[in-house]
Amino acid sequence: MKLITSIIKPFKLDEVREALAEVGVTGLTVTEVKGFGRQKGHTELYRGAEYVVDFLPKVKVEVVVADDRVDSAIEAITKAARTGKIGDGKIFVSPIEQAIRIRTGETNDSAV
């Protein structure tokens, strides 16, 4: 299993959620975060307003998937989140050692 952590533009959240659902993802966690990338010191459009970049509002999407779903999930996120403009975000992939569904006790691939 892998944890796919995506930092995306907030207005892309619905599209990313739908794209992930289409490739079989049944659960994810979303957090409102702030951050900056290489565009620091430049400006970025956010909801029609131009910001001098300090920390910009972003959304962090965390999804744990079985290894054989990693590529399709990354492709879905990339396609849905891309605008082609600066600040589209990043995807980080890291290993997950165990997953447990609390209600049933199912583990690992069966639990995600």
Ligand X SMILES: Nc1ncnc2c1ncn2[C@@H]1O[C@H](COP(=O)(O)OP(=O)(O)OP(=O)(O)O)[C@@H](O)[C@H]1O
Residues at the site binding ligand X, with contacts judged by CB under 6 A: 7, 35-39, 56, 58, 86-90
Q: Which residue is nearest to ligand X (CB)?
A: 35
Our CB check for ligand X shows the closer of 70 and 82 to be 82
59 close to 31: Cβ distance less than 8 angstroms: yes
Nearest CA to 93 out of 1, 28, 4 is that of: 4
First to last CA, the chain: 9
Q: How many CB atoms lie within 10 A of CB 55?
A: 11
**CB closer to ligand X, 55 vs 107:** 55
Closest separation between CB of residue 62 and ligand X, Å? Answer: 13
DSSP secondary structure string for all residues of 30-61: EEEEEE--TTTTSEEEETTEEEESSSEEEEEE
- Rounded to whole angstroms, the Cα distance separating 77 from 3 reads 13
C-beta of 45: minimal distance to ligand X in Å? 12
Nearer to ligand X, 89 or 112 (CB): 89
Q: Which is nearer to ligand X, 32 or 109 (CB)?
A: 32
Q: Report the nearest approach of ligand X to the CB of residue 6 (Å).
A: 9
Smallest separation (angstroms) from ligand X to the CB of 87: 4
